[in-house]
Structure 1
Amino acid sequence: MRLNRRTLLSSMAMVGVSAALPSVARAQEGESIFDMFARNRVLRDADRGGNTAAAEALIATNEPILSFDTAHNLQLAISQYEPFVAAGGWEEVPQEIYGLVLGNNRRSVIALKRRLMSSGDMPVVERANDLFDEATDRGVRTFQARHGLIVNGQVDEPTWYAMAVPAQNRLGQLYLNFQRVQAIAAKLSDRYVVVNIPAATIEAVEGGMVAQRHTAVVGRVERATPILASKIHQINFNPYWHVPKSIIRADLTKYMQEDPEYLTKFRIHIYDGKGNEISPTQIDWTTDEAVNYMFRQEPGAENSMGHCKINFHNPHDVYLHDTPSKALFGENARFHSSGCVRVDGVNQLVNWVLRDNKDWDQGRVDATFASNERLDVSVKTPVPIHTTYITAWANKQGTVSFRDDVYQFDSQGKISFDA
């Protein structure tokens, strides 16, 4: 059976996790008065914010995910994982650790601590007790940061799933990604943009260092973001959105059957082959008739591309763009698009791309966004862009990061993507 969240969690009793912890808790079953005092002290004194900051600092370095240095760091990680895996790796995590949070006083906390210690997420101690203390909270947050999860200190579903992946699997990821990075590193220039699909992140790299890092939303499995190499050559400010036929067929026809006012609400107009606008009522939405027409969304806050589109030549008709759906950037698994890539803080990336266009700075980019003015700007010095598939990498601090094999390329053993 292939390892995934569904198979790991199907047999589990779902334990509810409280969204907020009281400063003073009632005694848990079988807990002594001394244990209760210790737990309340932990809840009172733990620096959750400081633990999150410390965890995120381990990964928020200026080292690129894709570089020759990354290949070297992956080699070092492999040399550490190999003897560990040969010795048996970390223990299988029990179902009982699911749902654990700061202040819990249970036997299962010992298993959680052993798991965190074995992967280097918390310091090794000779004898672990059963209290989910501040060191454990910091360890869980460190683990979450390394695996690209929301850093909340709770052993929630994504965290439990990531902890349940065997060390042998993680070593396999390191082997594959070392080869992937090594193959691409020789093609890199001094200045480039990397979209790492499994991490759903974007890095703007210059002089071997990350100048900017952005959260992204990439293609869902059935509409995957393609792996490619190209150059960013144009910025469309406040663009029209011409709806692709695939989305007309798969989405718009369904939306119009559910809500006949959908196109009007989102300022989408329909045109025939001669450029004449037609009414939505002229189309039979229960058929594929709609794909014979051109659908164009007006610039503005509702536009699916937000305030800009970043163009690079490719045969897949994909691009980077802004989005009105900002809430998606806060999710663990950001695989929602139809192949294109949505960029958080895209105005900063646009400013970086337009560096050699001397008449553009951050102020002008922001003002153009706010104006809703339609404007196309050619990039004076086109910037290389690589969309990649890196599920494991390491930095010079020795911090190793992993991501889910969302497109199943790891399970297929794919190294080269002919990008």
Structure 2
Amino acid sequence: MKNKQFLYFLILFLAGSTVEAFTIDTTKTSELIRFRIETDSPGEKINIRGTSLLTTDEIVNFYTSRYFEEVWSRDGVLSELAYEMRFEIKQTQFDGLNPKDYNLDMIELLFSKFEANKLAKEANDPGDLADVDMLLSDAFFYLASHLERGKVDPSKIDEEWEISRKDQLVNYQDLLLEAINKREIRQSLESLYPKFSIYKKGREVLRALVEVEAEDTLNWKKINVSKALRAGDQDSSIPILRSRLQYWGFLETYELEQPKLYDSTMMIGVKSFQAAHGMDNDGIIGKMTAAAMNDSPSRKVEKARVNMERLRWLPDTVKKAEFILVNIANYQLDYLKNLDTLLTERVIVGRKYHESPIFMAEMSYIVFSPYWNIPYSITHAEVIPSARKNPNYIASRNMEVVTSSGKVVNPASIDWNAKSFPYMVRQKPGPHNSLGEVKFMFPNKHNVYIHDTNARSLFESDDRSRSHGCIRIQNPQDFAKALLRDDPSWTMDRIESAMGQDHEQVVKLDKPIPVVLVYLTFWADSNGQGHFREDIYDRDVSVLVALNK
């Protein structure tokens, strides 16, 4: 900033400027803008009436490049675009952002003065026009950065979010000039939205939720279910839960003889509610169903805000490409190509304290009938203690001990009580292998991959955070068929045969496929329907706190 000011004054000096050239003409808004920029303290934010501007280089470069000509007024009167910009600042609440972050209070104060002048048929003060001009331009630049890249740097609040933050690709000064020339503020800001259709759909869901929140008078006292409630049960929480189903439109109002009875009519509403929230619609009100029914409009607004920000973090490189998307919070894998869904599968993800990380990597090969190379942590925490107690443990689990060079070692020859353990343990291929009969590899530092499992009953649970961090897939043979679909020799019979071998078979994919592991507890589908999921890793709060700062 200091160097730019020095260069500016040097140019004027070399051009033969006199002291009179710096005399401020207070009748011209542009001269007052120049005065405010030239007199700011080097290294500090420009201050407008006690309010710091949010950007520095953008403001200085933008106004200097246009010789300080005002943007948002002409002949002493605010333009329609100025009112449109103020409107867009207010609309940021539907992006999950806070309009006050963009100095809206000061902008509103100045607009009020202009409105009062209009009614009194008095001229607007050039100083007021200069101030509002800089505030609006500054708000545009600051908002543009938030829409393109997110307000919050994810790496600073969520250590498990390892997708690199997007680079700034748009010159916001050029974008503002284009918006002014085309008289299209809304369209220019929209161009910065994530290129996923679900973002705009999410805005509309959030807009509707904000309206619902404003009218909400329901009691949202937290209901804890000590035991699962089934149709025919009586419980004091039933009237409250029934009213919430009716509030969200999953149940019509009907006459009641026993308000505390969980009747068959209410069960229909519960099933609809469960289906909408990604649960098995069994009509049983357990802990997860009750937790979802505790979400008030205010809570849903917060959840939507958090995930609109997460969408802004995601790279646009996957748009209209072939990729595999795993939404950990939704326990779901989607294989997409050109935004068409080729395959959708239920998955099991890492349990609390073994959380599945958020990152991107490329899937490059499949391993049929794999060994399970047991991680060091599991070997020391589970395998060694079990082998000490049971000499036959290794054989009974179809495991083998190998040296670092891959030589198999007789378990009976090992001192399991020794302080050091210079071996690796692996489970041989077979139906009881913990990885199941196939694994899908996208090499990464976390050693996380997608694999089959021999514990298939877990897929029927609503809570599918059960693994040590890897992703278990319900129908791996269908996933393999989709990945190998361009090779007609890989029939389903051949895939199932490869999965039933007593030795590994590695198959390289024709081309690497991006795998994106994300964590979204809210999104809107292509039909504009909002979907909410439990925050299984308690990650929403830190994002919300950062958004509110």
TM bucket (normalised to shorter chain) is 0.7 to 0.9
CA deviation after TM superposition for structure 1 residue 154, in Å = 2.1
TM-score by length of 2: 0.58
Aligned residue number for residue 323 of structure 1: 453
How many residues are treated as equivalent by the alignment? 349
Q: 2:206 aligns with which of 78, 101, 106?
A: 78
2:380: which partner in 1? 249
In structure 2, relative to structure 1, the CA distance for the partners of 1:78 and 1:345 (3 Å cut) is: same
Letter matched to residue 208 of structure 2: Q
CA spacing shift, 1:305–1:100, aligned 2, 3 Å: closer
Aligned to 1:308: 438
In 2, distance between residues paired with 1:119 and 1:259?
Answer: 55
Residue 145 of structure 1, CA deviation = 2.0
Structure-1 residue corresponding to 2:308? 178
Residue 231 of structure 2 aligns to a residue whose secondary structure is coil
Aligned equivalent of 2:506? 376
Post-superposition offset of 1:100: 4.4
Q: Quote how far apart the aligned CAs of 1:371 are.
A: 4.0
Question: Relative to structure 2, which stretch is displaced further, 350-359 or 380-389?
Answer: 350-359
Measured after TM superposition, the shift of residue 324 of structure 1 is: 0.9
Matches within 5 A, 1:125-204: 125=253, 130=259, 132-184=262-314, 186-188=316-318, 189-204=320-335
Give the direction of change, closer, same or farther, for the CA distance of 1:104–1:379 in structure 2 (3 Å limit). Answer: same
2: CA distance, partners of 1:173 / 1:256: 46
C-alpha distance in structure 1 between counterparts of 2:317 and 2:419, whole Å:
43
Instruction: Indicate which of 494, 498, 501 corresponds to 1:364.
Output: 494
1:402 to 515, 527, 532: 532
Q: Decide whether aligned partners of structure 1 residues 358 and 100 sit closer, same or farther in structure 2, where only a CA change above 3 A counts.
A: closer
Task: Give the Cα separation in 1 of the matches to 2:236 and 2:410.
Answer: 66
- Sort the Cα spacing of 1:106 and 1:230 in 2 relative to 1 into closer, same or farther, 3 A: closer
Alignment of 1:269 onto 2:415: no
Give the equivalent residue in structure 2 for 1:280: 411
Tell me: CA distance 1:397–1:127, structure 2 relative to 1, closer, same or farther (3 Å): farther
**Counterpart Cα distance in 1 of 2:267 and 2:403:** 60
Q: Distance in 2 between matches of 1:67 and 1:257?
A: 56
Q: Residues 118, 398 of structure 1: CA spacing in aligned structure 2 closer, same or farther, 3 A cutoff? A: farther
Aligned to 2:176: none
Report SS of the residue matched to 1:222.
coil
Using a 3 Å threshold, how does the CA distance of structure 1 residues 347 and 97 change in structure 2: closer, same or farther? closer
Q: Which runs of 5+ in 2 are unaligned?
A: 1-193
Amino acid at match of 1:296: R
Counterpart-to-counterpart distance in 1, 2:539 and 2:225: 30
Secondary structure, aligned partner of 2:211: helix
CA contact (8 A) 1:97 1:109 kept: no
1:351 equivalent in structure 2: 481
Match of 2:169 in 1: none
Give deviations 1:395-414, integer Å, cap 9, x for gaps: 24443222221222211117
Unaligned runs of 5+ in 1: 1-65
**Does structure 1 residue 114 correspond to structure 2 residue 114?**
no
- Give 2:243's aligned amino acid: R
Amino acid of the structure 2 residue aligned with 1:74: G
Question: In 2 relative to 1, CA 185–126 (structure 1 residues): closer, same or farther, beyond 3 Å?
Answer: farther
Give the letter aligned to residue 82 of structure 1. Answer: V
Secondary structure in structure 2 of the residue aligned to 1:223: coil
CA deviations 1:250-275 (Å, max 9, x no partner) are: 22123324433221112111122454
| CA pair 221-105 structure 1, distance change in 2 beyond 3 A | closer
* Paired residues for 1:3-42 under 5 Å: none
Normalising to structure 1: TM-score of the pair? Answer: 0.75
> Where in structure 2 are the equivalents of 1:193-232 lying within 5 Å?
193-232=324-363
Cα offset, 1:392, TM superposition: 1.0
Shift in Å, 1:97? 7.8
Between Structure 1 and Structure 2, which shows a larger proportion of helix residues? 2
- Structure 1 residues 404-413 or 257-266, which shifts more? 257-266
Tell me how far apart the structure 2 counterparts of residues 287 and 332 of structure 1 sit (CA, whole Å). 42
Q: Structure 1 residues 285, 167: CA separation in 2 closer, same or farther (over 3 Å shift)?
A: farther
Check whether the contact 1:97–1:112 (CA below 8 A) recurs between aligned residues: no
Q: Structure 2 counterpart of 1:84, which letter?
A: V
Question: SS in structure 1 opposite 2:500?
Answer: helix
What is the percent sequence identity of the aligned residues? 26
Task: Give the Cα separation in 2 of the matches to 1:402 and 1:173.
Answer: 8
Q: Which amino acid in structure 2 is aligned with residue 331 of structure 1?
A: S
Shift of 1:223: 1.8
Query: How far does the alpha carbon of each residue in 1:315-336 deviate from its partner, in whole angstroms, 9 at most, with x for none?
Result: 2111111111111111221122
The one-letter code matched in structure 1 to 2:342 is A
Task: Verify the 8 A CA contact 1:241 1:296 in the aligned structure 2.
Answer: yes
Letter in 1 for 2:428: E
Distance 1:264 1:377, change over 3 A: same
Give the conservation status (yes or no) of the 8 Å contact 1:90–1:167: no
Q: Does 1:68 align with 2:196?
A: yes
Question: Aligned partners of 1:201 and 1:132: how far apart in 2?
Answer: 31
1:217 maps to a residue whose letter is I
**CA-atom RMSD in angstroms:** 2.8
- Amino acid in the other structure paired with 1:222: Y
Q: Could you tell me how far 1:372 is from its partner in structure 2?
A: 4.3
In 1, distance between residues paired with 2:388 and 2:222? 47
Higher deviation after alignment, 235-244 or 183-192:
183-192
Q: Deviations over 1:11-32 (max 9, x none)?
A: xxxxxxxxxxxxxxxxxxxxxx
CA distance in 1, matches of 2:277, 2:430: 36
Measure, in 1, the Cα distance between the counterparts of 2:440 and 2:424: 22
C-alpha distance in structure 2 between counterparts of 1:97 and 1:266, whole Å: 39
Equivalent of 1:332, from 439, 462, 465? 462
Against the structure 1 CA distance between its residues 187 and 160, is the aligned structure 2 distance closer, same or farther, given a 3 Å change threshold? same
- Whole-Å Cα distance in 1 between the matches of residues 379 and 224 of structure 2? 46
